[in-house]
Chain A
Amino acid sequence: MSQEPQRVGLVLARASQVLGEEPFYHEFIEGLERVLTPAGVSLLVKVVTDRAAEAATYELWAERDQVAGVVLVDLSHDDERVPLVRRLGIPAVVLGDPSTADGMPTVWTDDARFGRDAVRFLAEHGHTVIGHVSGPMLFAHTELRRGGVEAEAAERGLTLVTGEGDYSKESGRKATAQVLSSSAGRPSAIVYDSDMMALGGLETIAEHGLRVPADVSVIAWDDSAQCQLAVPALSAMSHDVGRIGELGADAILEAMRDPAADTVYEAPKAQIVERESTR
């Protein structure tokens, strides 16, 4: 009988309920599998509650020789997972900015540029006070995106008010309440780093007696069916997440073949899809 197929591991450190709400990872995983499955490689996703459990998972996988490669996501600056998997000898690729990858193959999502694009879009629609509800600032991609948002707002002389969430709908509600009551002024547009946070934000905006988009425009990040079904339907920064997954699969297959691989794959550009929540 044939031997078991090779396996690539992906560890996600978040509550299992949050994973259920994040279409980004469903589509990313789908894209990875579009390339890995025909190549005879399986993809194992493990959901753990924190970074310590994630590190322990890599240690165990290496000790038991259970994976041929791993995909690292949500990196911070000087992320300890990068030297860890290198020490363990597991081929790895990074989804994020090349500066976090220490020379490993990377699928580069240019978050700073996408952040600028979102602010430029709103500025061109006449908004001068803009809110940004980000994901956890611990993540390098969040920091880079925030950096892009800040730089573009500063260059255009816009006022920026910010909040931070954890991608859950509830955190989107809380951060929105905070942003709407900012002393710097009430934003006439809010950009969210995820679709679920934007959906939570819609509810909070309504609770404040404000209308979307008449009083506040809303942009979700990562388009999803839930965004499209929202009332009003959410405008979104949409990128082809399935394609990002396919590039991730190309990268990990290369890393498994060649330990010296260091290619940077550029992810397709994000684009604003205008629906009913912006004006």
Chain B
Amino acid sequence: MARREAPAAGPGSRALIVDVVRSATTISRGELADMTGLTQPSISIIVRDLIAEGIIHEIGSTGSTHGRPRKLIAINPANRFGVGFHLGPDTLTCVAIDLTGGVVGREVVPRVPHEVWPADRLARRFDDFTACLDLPRGRIEGLAIVAPAPVPGQPDTATELSLLRAGLTERIGVPVLVENDAAAAALGEFWSRRVSRDQAFGCVYLSTGIGAGLVFGGALHRGASFDAGELGHVSIRYDGRPCPCGNVGCVEQYASTSATVRAAREDPGLRDRLHLDGGDAGAYDAIARAAVNGDPAAYAVLDQAAGYLSMAVTSMVNLLDLGRLVLTGPGVALAGSIYARRLRAHLNRTAHARHRHSTAVELSTQPRDAAGIGAAVLVVQAAIAPGHTPGAAG
């Protein structure tokens, strides 16, 4: 079969090969040539280097129509690691992953709300965490720190963290990246679900706020200032509830976990029955659990939130013509099925491209840790498939 004219192997070829091997799970060199358009000799050289560095390994052979068995290659998971820190409202979640995105360790430590730790304290946390997991420093590719995107006019954690990067890198001796949590979660799902780089992929992160992350051509879409994907501030009502961002009717005011807890507490029966007067996180989980176990009032509250969210997500899908969507974040940990079902039905009815293709809606398997895992994936991608992460160069 005639093949397209093969491009010369360039600096991006190595990243392309790693990314195709990642999404294929296992693949032969011949299939790599077909899928990347690179020549067999270029592929042989790059794969040889990747094997020497321990990023890829050979995992056996498969029969071939030409008699000679083809060797299969795959990402070598447990040889190197990425570390991610996720700043939650009152916690710091630390995650370590292998090269395929599998979690090898995690730790959640208490944190004073809104407190940004100085570089030496973050460095001690990093040292302590990796020491407890017994991860050799020479095999850690870096650290990424993720936090919610700042509300306009409010203290900006991301910028403060960016200022710490140089000092922190110096102290811990590995590269440090900073990103927003929803964007990182999207990259994490993209990487560990082995989503192909050919897909227009999006991820909705449901928490006390609502964010989205978008991955096109294997690269996270950042926008002009790392602020892309502010799905929570897509307005669903021109005369709706005011939002601290300055707009009105932002979907975050209707469908975030905080909005859902507020709505449930307005129902006195639900409030008493589910003991919703404690912390918001526990109250939300109580509502979610009741809803999936058949409590009609709890279900109605969540289903309504899911309906609001579907309006905004449909706008995002239409704007970007997404082919695949994953729901993640703590808000979908227990009751993700309610959101996924509602969103599937809504998109089937309303997505602009629905007659050309369906938009797959899936649920994250680790929604509570998605941002921390995504942070660690950011590091892994920057290390073994560089060129997809403009932020890594800075």
- Which residues of A are interface residues toward B (Cβ below 8 A)? 1, 4-5, 7, 9, 15-17, 19-21, 23, 26-27, 30, 33-34, 37-38, 40, 42-47, 57, 60-61, 64, 66-67, 223, 225-226, 228-229, 233, 238, 240, 242, 273
Whether the pair B132, A26 counts as a contact (CB closer than 8 A) is no
Determine the chain A residues whose CB is within 8 A of the CB of B367 once the complex forms.
26
3 nearest CB pairs, A to B:
A16-B102, A228-B337, A225-B336
Report how far A273 CA is from B291 CA in the complex, Å.
12
Whether the pair B131, A66 counts as a contact (CB closer than 8 A) is yes
- Known contacts A16-B102, A26-B368, A44 near B333 by CB under 8 Å: no
B102 interface neighbour in A4, A17, A61, A240, Cβ under 8 Å: A17
Report how far A223 CA is from B98 CA in the complex, Å.
28
- Known contacts A20-B366, A57-B134, A60-B134, A30 near B333 by CB under 8 Å: yes
Report how far A34 CA is from B98 CA in the complex, Å.
27
- Other A-B pairs, 17, CB within 8 Å; known A5-B109, A16-B102, A44-B133: A7-B107, A9-B132, A17-B100, A20-B366, A26-B369, A42-B110, A44-B105, A45-B106, A46-B105, A66-B131, A67-B132, A225-B337, A226-B363, A228-B292, A229-B336, A242-B289, A273-B294
- Known contacts A5-B109, A66-B132, A229 near B285 by CB under 8 Å: no
Whether the pair B110, A5 counts as a contact (CB closer than 8 A) is yes
Report how far A127 CA is from B133 CA in the complex, Å.
48
Q: Is the C-beta of B123 less than 8 angstroms from some C-beta in chain A?
A: no
Q: How far, in Å, is B263 (CB) from chain A's closest CB?
A: 21
- Known contacts A42-B108, A45-B107, A273-B293, A226 near B365 by CB under 8 Å: yes
Number of A-B contacts (CB under 8 A): 107
Determine the chain B residues whose CB is within 8 A of the CB of A16 once the complex forms.
77, 97-98, 102-104
Report how far A33 CA is from B365 CA in the complex, Å.
19
Give the nearest-CB partner of B111 in chain A: A37
Report how far A27 CA is from B288 CA in the complex, Å.
13
Whether the pair B341, A238 counts as a contact (CB closer than 8 A) is no
Give the nearest-CB partner of A18 in chain B: B102
Whether the pair A20, B107 counts as a contact (CB closer than 8 A) is no
B333 interface neighbour in A5, A27, A34, A42, Cβ under 8 Å: A27
